[in-house]
Chains A and B, each alone.
Chain A
Amino acid sequence: MPSPKPATAERRAALLQAAAQVAKNITTLRSLDELLPASVDIICDAYDFYYAGIFLLDESKHWAVLRAGRGEAGRKMIEAGHKLEVGGQSMIGASIAWREARIALDVGEEAVFFKNPYLPDTRSEMALPLIVGENTFGAVTVQSTEEAAFSDEDISSLMAMADQLAIAIHNAYLLRELELTHAALLRAKTYEALATATTQAIHWIGNKTQPITTTVARMKADLENGKPDLESLKEDLDIIAENARLIVDVRERIIGPGRDQTLRAALIPDVVQAAAFFTGIPDKKLTIEAAPDTPYGLTDTTQLARVLGYLFQNALEAHATHISATITPTLDQSHVAISIADDGEGIAPENKDQIWTAFFTTKGSGYAGLGLAAALTTLSQMGGRITLDSEPGKGATFTIVIPTAPDDEAIDLSYAPQNIFFVDEATDTWALFAANVLKLAGKNVVVQESPAGAAEADLILVDEALTTMPVTDVVAQLKEAGVAGKAVVVTAALDTARAARYMKAGVKDVALKPYTYMELAAFLNFEKEK
């Protein structure tokens, strides 16, 4: 057998570089489908070998199956399902069975070599087992067209590389096992949650429909008697109406998360303010604080306002005397966090997991227990999440996190109406933004809490969350002045019934508040053309 050839300084440098590259790949490429082909290429390129391939044991541990192979030969062998028997005639099979390297410096002379028609020019071959502790995962084959191709240095560096690869394969298997376990756990949890929610839904529906059926039967009997008691019939109708209302409320909370979402850049403090306003939280009970550097959030504002509304409602129902909303960017600025903290009754530790389940409530028969389940679904659909921190008697803090929106771009507003009148508080977050942008664009802008003097404007924008007077009164005054047709009610959260009411009162339009330069330009253009 020819003796191993000596290594040159150049080759040593190439080997070191290859070892470093394999090590780097092991840390960056987590999937075996990427790691194994990359490794055979590095080995062949660095050592100038004819061929390299990686075999992994199948589930039976009886066969070593080719998982990556250099070049055309490798591709064809993988396609053909090339595999070698462990402990069989091949060098790979032997190296796995004996858990040791097999080296043939002239394969023609190596008795255990199995002639491979795909690699006819091989004259030297090395098979290195892939071993971590007691586990054998497969083997690497390295082949050269030269006789006695491997130097001692090649052999030791390739063995070190094989050890590194084995560790990476081991890690990938562990990760796969972890993922499978996780998926199984997730399936079980999902099934359990669905089963619980279904049971609770059936229970809830049963309880709400039962008085309806009982009452209808009784009313029929009363009417058939011929001597109906009007007071009793009125009470019966109230019973039916109340249950119908509860069922309709649930319908909205079930449908809510299923609605299509239109994600857009939004001024989160304005959405929080609107949600508090629509929930009817008195000003003195609420503090809203926003960090000055808070970026825009990427969200569907109507849906986010609905979610925030559930949280505000929960705080009120927990008898909170004060609620504080804090809006801050996350440390890496990738998300906007909205914390809603109250000083109410708090949530018992044993209920902390269950509160996210549909139809779970501790508040009694007048409640459906759907708000937080709907919040969870809605937020996850917009790439956000929600968490709870609470101790009984010490209030509750819900924290919502939503992605940050991309940066806004300045845009030409010269074609927009010249005289714009805002019916809004001068301190309102949205009015501050929109009025400033329009002033900078050379528009005449008035921001005022009452519509007095709005008649001169080309466009009147009425904030639906105006706290100083009901929007319906503002619209009535504009109508009386004959200028309701120039007014648009703007809102953070569109609501069908409210929008219909304003339109019936004669306003030109009801629209989502534009929160960015782009949206403002599109909005003004649209309203001008309308």
Chain B
Amino acid sequence: MQYEHKILLVDDEPLIRRSMQKTLSRLGFEVITADNCIEGLTTFEAAQRSDNPFDLALLDLNIPGFTGQPQEGAGLELLSRLHEKSPNLPVIILTAYDEVHKAKVAISRGAREYFVKGRDEGLVDLMDAILEK
């Protein structure tokens, strides 16, 4: 199957990874998942070296960080590392924290959107809008 866009999804909740992967695959996205920062960065770098890099990254905010331990805001660290490799990569921070402060920090660190989990229809629209630009 030929996919139009390739998405990196990093989340430490296995059921969220699986469920979102299924939903997004049905909608025509190629979804590769990782459950922590180290694996996320490695997967991203490997794709970048190939002829099929990622078009967009969906990153959970609180995931195991580069130390291997769960870490608050580790998703933002991964975001910075991804932008070092690919400054124009659109990144959506995906989180269950419905908090203005965290959203402001994420955007100021370069995230394209801060998306609160549970409003899925909106997420797909958002991804479409970002990728069509």
Q: Could you list 12 A-B pairs, sorted by A, with CB under 8 Å?
A: A206-B95, A206-B117, A209-B118, A210-B96, A210-B118, A211-B16, A211-B18, A211-B20, A213-B118, A243-B15, A362-B69, A365-B14
- Judge if B81 is at the interface, Cβ distance under 8 Å: no
- Judge if A221 is at the interface, Cβ distance under 8 Å: yes
| Contact present for B15 and A239 (CB under 8 Å) | yes
* Chain A: CB-nearest residue to B116: A206
| Contact present for B118 and A221 (CB under 8 Å) | no
Q: How far is the CB of B117 from chain A (nearest CB, A)?
A: 4
| Contact present for A202 and B118 (CB under 8 Å) | no
B contacts, CB < 8 Å to A: 12-16, 18-20, 22-23, 26, 62, 69-70, 95-99, 116-118, 120-121
* Contact of B97 (CB < 8 Å), options: A202, A215, A217, A243: A202
Q: Which residues of A contact B120 (CB under 8 A)?
A: 210, 213-214, 217
* Chain B: CB-nearest residue to A209: B118
- Judge if A242 is at the interface, Cβ distance under 8 Å: yes
Q: How far is the CB of A234 from chain B (nearest CB, A)?
A: 12
* Contact of A217 (CB < 8 Å), options: B18, B117, B121: B121
| Contact present for A206 and B23 (CB under 8 Å) | no
Q: Quick one: given A217-B23, A218-B22, are A364 and B97 in contact (CB under 8 Å)?
A: no
Cα–Cα, bound, A365→B12 (Å) = 7
Cα–Cα, bound, A359→B20 (Å) = 24
Cα–Cα, bound, A313→B46 (Å) = 40
| Contact present for A210 and B23 (CB under 8 Å) | no
Cα–Cα, bound, A529→B12 (Å) = 57
| Contact present for B98 and A202 (CB under 8 Å) | yes
* Contact of B19 (CB < 8 Å), options: A202, A206, A215: A215
Q: Which residues of A contact B15 (CB under 8 A)?
A: 211, 239, 242-243, 365
- Judge if A47 is at the interface, Cβ distance under 8 Å: no
Q: Which residues of A contact B14 (CB under 8 A)?
A: 365
| Contact present for A206 and B98 (CB under 8 Å) | yes
Q: How far is the CB of B33 from chain A (nearest CB, A)?
A: 13
Cα–Cα, bound, A204→B95 (Å) = 10
Cα–Cα, bound, A214→B18 (Å) = 10
Q: How far is the CB of B39 from chain A (nearest CB, A)?
A: 14
Cα–Cα, bound, A431→B20 (Å) = 54
Cα–Cα, bound, A214→B11 (Å) = 15
Q: How far is the CB of B22 from chain A (nearest CB, A)?
A: 6
One digit per residue, 1 when the CB lies within 8 angstroms of any chain B CB and 0 when it does not, for chain A 202-243 equals 111111011101110110010000000000100110010011
Q: Which residues of B contact A262 (CB under 8 A)?
A: none
A contacts, CB < 8 Å to B: 199, 202-207, 209-211, 213-215, 217-218, 221, 232, 235-236, 239, 242-243, 362, 364-365
Q: How far is the CB of A265 from chain B (nearest CB, A)?
A: 43
Other contacts beyond A211-B13, A211-B18, A211-B20: 19, CB < 8 A:
A205-B96, A206-B96, A206-B117, A207-B13, A210-B117, A210-B120, A211-B19, A214-B16, A214-B20, A214-B23, A215-B22, A217-B120, A217-B121, A232-B22, A239-B15, A243-B15, A362-B70, A364-B12, A365-B12
Q: How far is the CB of B50 from chain A (nearest CB, A)?
A: 28
Q: How far is the CB of A281 from chain B (nearest CB, A)?
A: 26
Cα–Cα, bound, A391→B96 (Å) = 32
Cα–Cα, bound, A260→B97 (Å) = 33
Cα–Cα, bound, A199→B101 (Å) = 13
| Contact present for A218 and B117 (CB under 8 Å) | no
* Contact of B96 (CB < 8 Å), options: A202, A221, A232: A202
| Contact present for B96 and A203 (CB under 8 Å) | yes
Q: Which residues of B contact A242 (CB under 8 A)?
A: 15
Q: Which residues of B contact A217 (CB under 8 A)?
A: 23, 120-121
Which has the most chain B C-beta neighbours within 10 Å: A214, A362, A364? Answer: A214
* Chain B: CB-nearest residue to A365: B13
Cα–Cα, bound, A235→B16 (Å) = 13
Q: Which residues of A contact B22 (CB under 8 A)?
A: 215, 218, 232, 235-236
Q: Which residues of A contact B69 (CB under 8 A)?
A: 362
Cα–Cα, bound, A207→B117 (Å) = 7
* Chain A: CB-nearest residue to B15: A211
Cα–Cα, bound, A243→B15 (Å) = 8
Q: Which residues of B contact A213 (CB under 8 A)?
A: 118, 120
Q: How far is the CB of B58 from chain A (nearest CB, A)?
A: 12
Q: Which residues of B contact A364 (CB under 8 A)?
A: 12, 70
| Contact present for B23 and A207 (CB under 8 Å) | no
Q: How far is the CB of A317 from chain B (nearest CB, A)?
A: 14
* Chain A: CB-nearest residue to B13: A365
Q: Which residues of A contact B18 (CB under 8 A)?
A: 211, 235, 239
Q: Quick one: given A210-B117, A211-B13, A362-B69, are A204 and B19 in contact (CB under 8 Å)?
A: no
Q: Across the A-B interface, give the 10 residue pairs with the lowest CB-CB distance, nearest first.
A: A206-B96, A211-B19, A210-B117, A211-B15, A365-B13, A203-B96, A214-B19, A207-B96, A206-B117, A218-B23
Cα–Cα, bound, A215→B15 (Å) = 10
Q: Which residues of B contact A203 (CB under 8 A)?
A: 62, 95-97
Q: Which residues of B contact A221 (CB under 8 A)?
A: 26
Which has the most chain B C-beta neighbours within 10 Å: A235, A362, A364? Answer: A364
Cα–Cα, bound, A236→B15 (Å) = 10
Q: Which residues of B contact A207 (CB under 8 A)?
A: 13, 16, 96, 117
